[in-house]
Amino acid sequence: MALRKAKWLGISSAVIGWWLSSGAALAATAASAATKTKSSPNIFDDAVNSISYLINSVAHFLGNNNGFSYGLGLIVITLAIRLLTLPLVIRSVRNSKKMQMLQPRIKELREKYGKDRVKINEQMMAIYKEEGVNPVAGCMPMLVQMVVLWVLYRAIYVDPALMHSWFFGINLGQPDHTFILPVLAAITSYFQTKLTMVQTDPSQKFIMYIFPVMILFMGTRFNAALALYWVISNIFTIFQTYFTRVKPANQEA
């Protein structure tokens, strides 16, 4: 029973983690916020305006004669933001790898102390301290990325120029009725999740199929600019995951 409960907790955490880190929840929040009456300016509004300005600057630099360059501007800014947050991701990956290596020892503790959660937690903290692992270290990078993604989503929704731009015949300000971008987003999401699951828990393979379906559904509901963002972000994550695979700590130089 305990094993089953732990498994479902792990699956639930994976689903929630993906929902937040992929930007799915942020997209819904941004879409809702974009339809509300504007309030007094704050730091988030300034950040949104800055991202919108950067997208417009790149578009103008490329030459926005037919709006196509706004799609390119979105791609450039998306890649730039992902590159800026890459150090945080690498740090999180390294910490997760160390946590994964400690799982056999954690399992032994659970078997040894049974239902004595206080003792288990004490021993776990001792192991984490001994190995220099922070069990919550991965939260900060995710929170930072969530804020950055939320700002990017808001910038997409509030930028009139981007909302009236066309990219390869697709209106970025409307849902993609050709389904090209939603399908590409779903496909890249599948490979991204598959690559990530290899490094985590292979028993959660069904998640590889749930996530792409969710992305496909949301890609047909939100504007095409968000679907384009998902495609580019997923491709970046695929390469990021492949190249940030780290060796066990005892094998690193």
Tens digits of per-residue pLDDT, 191-245? 888 887 655 555 566 777 888 888 899 889 888 988 998 899 899 989 888 887 6
Q: What percent of the chain is predicted at pLDDT more than 70? A: 72
**pLDDT-derived band at 107, boundaries 50, 70, 90:** confident
Q: Judge residue 153's burial from the number of C-beta atoms within 10 Å of its C-beta, 0-12 exposed, 13-18 middle, 19 or more buried.
A: buried
Using alpha carbons, select from 236, 61, 44, 80 the residue that is nearest to residue 155: 44
pTM > 0.85: no
- The enclosing H or E element of 135 equals none
- Tell me what the mean pLDDT of segment 1-26 comes to: 48
pLDDT, mean of residues 5-19: 47
Q: What is the mean pLDDT of the chain?
A: 75
Query: Could you tell me the pLDDT band of residue 129, with boundaries at 50, 70 and 90?
Result: confident
Cα dihedral sign for 212, 145, 150, 82?
negative
Q: pLDDT of 83-101, one tens digit each?
A: 988 888 887 777 777 877 8
Highest mean pLDDT among 47-51, 61-65, 97-101: 47-51
Q: How many CA atoms lie within 13 A of 134 on its CB side?
A: 9
> For the CA atoms of the chain, what is the radius of gyration?
21
- Pairwise pLDDT comparison (249 vs 144), residue with the higher score: 144
Q: Which residue has the higher pLDDT, 162 or 188?
A: 188
CB 131 within 8 A of CB 98: yes
Cα angle 129-133-137, degrees, rounded to a multiple of 5 = 125
What does the buried/exposed string (b/e) look like for 221-248 if buried means 16 or more CB atoms within 10 Å of the residue's CB?
A: ebbbbbbbbbbbbbbbbbebbeebeeee
Own/partner long-range contacts of 114-118 (Cβ < 8 Å, ≥24 apart) = none
Model pLDDT, residue 253: 41
Q: Which of 20, 83, 52, 21 is nearest to 236 (CA)?
A: 83
User: 22 φ, ψ to 5°?
Assistant: -75, -15
If one compares 79 and 28, the residue with the highest pLDDT of the two is: 79
d(CA 97, CA 1): 27
Task: Report DSSP letters for 207-237, one per residue.
Answer: HHHHHHHHHHHHHTTS-HHHHHHHHHHHHHH
- The predicted structure's pLDDT at residue 187: 94
